[in-house]
Amino acid sequence: MKQQTKLIQAGRGKKWTGQAVNPPVVRASTITFDSMAELAHASQHKGDRVPYYGRRGTATHFAFQEAICELEGGAGCALYPCGAAAVSGALLSFLQHGDHLLMVDTVYEPTRALCEKILRPMGVETEYYDPMIGAGIERLLRPNTKAIFLESPGSLTMEVQDVPAICNIARAKGVITLLDNTWASPILCRPFELGVDISIQAATKYIVGHSDVMLGTASANEQYWPQLREHSYILGYCASADDVYQASRGLRTLGVRLAQHQQNALKIASWIEQRPEVEAVRHPAFASNPGHEFFVRDFSGSNGLFSFVLRQGGAKAVAAFVEGMQYFKMGFSWGGYESLISPTLNVQKLRTASQWPYSGPLIRLHIGLEDPEDLIADLEQAFSRFKAALLA
């Protein structure tokens, strides 16, 4: 089955949908049983998409979990109220006092905050590594290294990691690998084929796709699924049936949306690259992007998210750029149908184990589904405001 067909079929077996096209929204805390035997059966199979208690999910959740497994390739998928909860839930399901965690230096900022503010006081030591380390990760392994956390491409700066090189070494040493796979969504790369043990999605982004629901997933291979499932359940992570329904719905158009995001973003990134004010474009599909060769090898395409670095400019000039946009809205998150803009003045401040090569400000864009000509006109005016502010 081709991927676009899989996106339409996944999680839509009659078992979940009945005679309808979509699985229904089944809201429940209590699940009721008619007999001791039924209760015993549910208790034995409570991790296998058999209704047991609301926190373990209903048919709405089971259909979506099945779909994510089919798309990403995991043995099972746990659901969380947001992407940040999926990150914390997956890490807390495996880490204990005394463990050493290797964390990519370009990780999503709240994940770094989790390591520093929650894990470190609990006795888990996080050591950050250069995103381009590849097989060099071996030098950082210690006897107590429990897990390696990857995010590829890196948040904001888009370095693409050599995921298989890192996972090969980790697997040989019995170290768990977790990948924040949000940028790729469940369809632009196959994390389990690259050797990853646990793949995390902020479903909030492209899966939901409409900037109106928060949801997270963590999928695991056969080896780690039982512990991920049980420990996340014990920690109390769950998601509402209404939100999961919206995510299921988002999956059906994920392929066509991503194709359009990709096309629009490539067009706009190429236009930006020609601008004299721009020092560099960070887009994984561009040959100049660190790890581009791994992108070509491991990904089937790109999306609407990329960044660029201006040659110069302080807070005032950057404000002139990002304020007064007609279509690009300023705000966090990405993956919806709309365009977003987000400035970062000091990238180096966000990392400790690698050198950021530029001194100018960085601007991250999420390119939505608007007509790219309109978006380019919007950016053209932003560059004019920026230039005027530099001269003022």
Ligand X SMILES: *Cc1c(COP(=O)(O)O)cnc(C)c1O
* Residue from the set 65, 155, 232, 248 that interacts with ligand X by CB under 6 A: 155
Would you count residue 152 as binding ligand X (CB under 6 A)? no
Shortest Å distance, C-beta 250 to ligand X: 13
Name the nearest CA neighbour of 62 among 74, 47, 84: 47
**With contacts defined by CB under 6 A, how many residues of the chain interact with ligand X?**
15
* Residue from the set 83, 89, 291, 361 that interacts with ligand X by CB under 6 A: 83
Would you count residue 204 as binding ligand X (CB under 6 A)? yes
**In the chain, alpha helices (H):** 3-9, 14-17, 36-44, 59-72, 83-92, 109-114, 163-172, 225-235, 241-273, 292-298, 315-322, 372-391
**Which of these is catalytic: 180, 197, 298, 378?**
180
364 labelled catalytic: no
What's the helix, strand, coil split of the chain in %, to 5?
Answer: 40, 15, 45
311 labelled catalytic: no
User: Which residues pair with residue 130 across a beta bridge?
Assistant: none
Shortest Å distance, C-beta 208 to ligand X: 9
Task: List the structure tokens of 392.
Answer: 């003022």
- Of 52 and 237, CB closest to ligand X: 237
CA 151-152-157 angle, 5° bins? 100
197 labelled catalytic: no
Query: What x/- string results for residues 175 through 194 when contact with ligand X is judged by CB under 6 A?
Result: -----x-x------------
**Which of these is catalytic: 52, 108, 224, 233?**
108
Going across the sheet that includes 125-129, the strands are: 76-80, 216-220, 198-202, 176-180, 145-151, 100-104, 125-129
* Residue from the set 108, 129, 237, 294 that interacts with ligand X by CB under 6 A: 108
Helix (H, G, I), strand (E, B) or coil at 344: strand
The answer to whether the beta carbons of residues 329 and 380 sit under 8 Å apart is no
- Greatest CA separation for the chain: 79
Give the separation between CA 89 and CA 231, rounded to whole angstroms.
Answer: 8
The number of angstroms, rounded, from the C-alpha of 200 to the middle of its chain's C-alpha atoms is 6
Shortest Å distance, C-beta 14 to ligand X: 31
Closest CB to ligand X: residue number: 83
Q: Which stretch, 197-205, 255-263, 280-288, 293-301, contacts ligand X (CB under 6 A)?
A: 197-205
34 labelled catalytic: no
Please tell me what DSSP assigns to residue 116: I
* Residue from the set 214, 310, 325, 363 that interacts with ligand X by CB under 6 A: 214
Dihedral angle of Cα 124, 219, 83, 332, to the nearest 10 degrees: 120
Would you count residue 202 as binding ligand X (CB under 6 A)? yes
User: According to CB under 6 A, which residues from 227 to 286 bind ligand X?
Assistant: none
**Which of these is catalytic: 49, 56, 190, 205?**
205
Would you count residue 219 as binding ligand X (CB under 6 A)? no
Residues that bind ligand X (CB under 6 A): 82-84, 87, 108, 151, 155, 180, 182, 202, 204-205, 214, 216, 333
Question: Where in the sequence numbering do the catalytic residues fall?
Answer: 55, 108, 180, 205
